[in-house]
Amino acid sequence: MNKINIGLIGYGVVGSGVAKMLLKRKSFIKNKYHTEFSIKTLCDRSLGKKDTKNLTHTKFTKNYLDIINDPEIDVVVELIGGMNPAKKIAQQTLQNGKHLITANKELMANAGQELFALAQKKSVSIYYESAVGAGIPIIQTLSEGVVGNQFTGLFGIINGTCNYILTEMTKSNLSFDQALKSAQEKGYAESDPTLDINGMDSAHKLAILVSLAFGKFIKIKDIYTEGITHISHDDIEQAEKLDLSIKLLAIAKMTDDKIEARVHPTLISKEHPLAAINSIYNALYLNADPLGDVLLSGEGAGQMAAASGVVSDLINLAGKGQNAHLWSNLSDENKKLKTRKIDDIESKFYLRFMASDKPGVLAKITGVLGRAGIGINSVTQKQHHQTSTVPVIMLTDYSTEKKLRSALNTIHKMPVVKAKPVAIRMEKLW
């Protein structure tokens, strides 16, 4: 029987879920994998407020060094999130020759290369399946399952909060604020949901995916990031009429030794599999050669979904052995690859202008777009109402981001345009 002692740092939603799952699956894991996991020590700064009655053989501490410096602990599971003190915990864990399991996407996105180099030096491993897509085996699939393939593109719905909000706005006709409140009430969104709804959570996860798929460690500042707060029912209504869906997509493509990486609301065909990914479900759609297109999907949020990924990491650690070399831990990168700036990327766009319902307004707007060299494929304007403001919807031909943004800035300054124009990129995924 293989026995592995765990030091668990962080006993919040995910940490308590891991403890619950290890206890519930104890006999199953023993019988199938001939391994016994023991949470030797638990560290949490709010231990007095937590229910730990089932952890009868576990020591408790508020000092993470009690775990890191314990020679009997084989693996440290970090589940506190953020950079500070998580980065210090990760560094000291590896420095002391212990394996690290984490669900911390911010840590792995910003410090992954540095931590992998330290892990290689100390002959230990980092497992981080739950950092992207909770329990969906995205990390293992990219680093093991399809590792012989070359990737040209990946498209991910990798934030359950935003996907839930957009789903509720579409299917239940809720406002953005109503959908967000519902997500918070159901535990799908934090009390401060900023990192979710502004796209930053997806950007951190995309940085991890780019390193695995393309062998390039990309800085968060080089990922164009846009959230969903500007999406309205007008946009959803128009999308439905066009047989399209609005999704917050994390997109990465490689062409001519340049990587484009971006996170933003995107209009996609309802015929594409990603359009059917709703509520808190996450999905990753990969363009792989020679395998073809691959879709991974499952619950991307929630206590037990994330706990499942962590426990899978523990079992994989036990199965691979203490000295296993993980392809997901490579610190080298392709120095030739550069990042493509958002200004240079071409897309078709959906545009919405809130404009005065007066004669000549449409001509003024299309005139600015025309002078910028932006072709218009279609225009939709609601029925005239005197002195009212109405949405004007346009679909463009392909245009660079730089040209479009310049034209929109000019249009925004027009007295007849009453709000900041909304632009949603249209992506062809087939």
Domain ranges of the chain: 2-135+304-329, 138-300, 343-426
The yes-or-no verdict on residue 321 having pLDDT over 80 is no
pLDDT reported for residue 257: 87
Q: What is the pLDDT of residues 192-211, one digit of tens each?
A: 999 999 999 999 999 999 99
Multiple choice CATH, 2-135+304-329, 3.40.50.300, 3.90.79.10, 3.30.420.40, 3.40.50.720: 3.40.50.720
HSE toward the beta carbon, residue 161, CA cutoff 13 A: 27
CATH of domain 343-426: 3.30.70.260
Domain at 138-300, CATH from 3.40.800.10, 3.60.20.10, 3.30.360.10, 3.40.50.10860:
3.30.360.10
Amino acid identity for residue 264 in this structure:
H
Query: Residue 171: pLDDT band by 50, 70, 90 thresholds?
Result: very high
Residue with tokens 């540095």: 114
The alpha carbons of the chain give a radius of gyration, in whole angstroms, of: 24
Name the band, by pLDDT with cuts 50, 70 and 90, for residue 381.
confident
Which pLDDT does position 128 carry in this prediction? 97
Task: State pLDDT tens for residues 260-312.
Answer: 999 999 999 999 999 999 999 999 999 999 999 999 999 987 889 999 999 99
Lowest mean pLDDT among 70-79, 155-164, 333-342, 396-405: 333-342
pLDDT at residue 22 above 80? yes
The percent of residues above 90 in pLDDT, for the chain, comes to 87
Q: How confident is the model at residue 322 (pLDDT cuts 50, 70, 90)?
A: low
Residues serving a catalytic function are 205
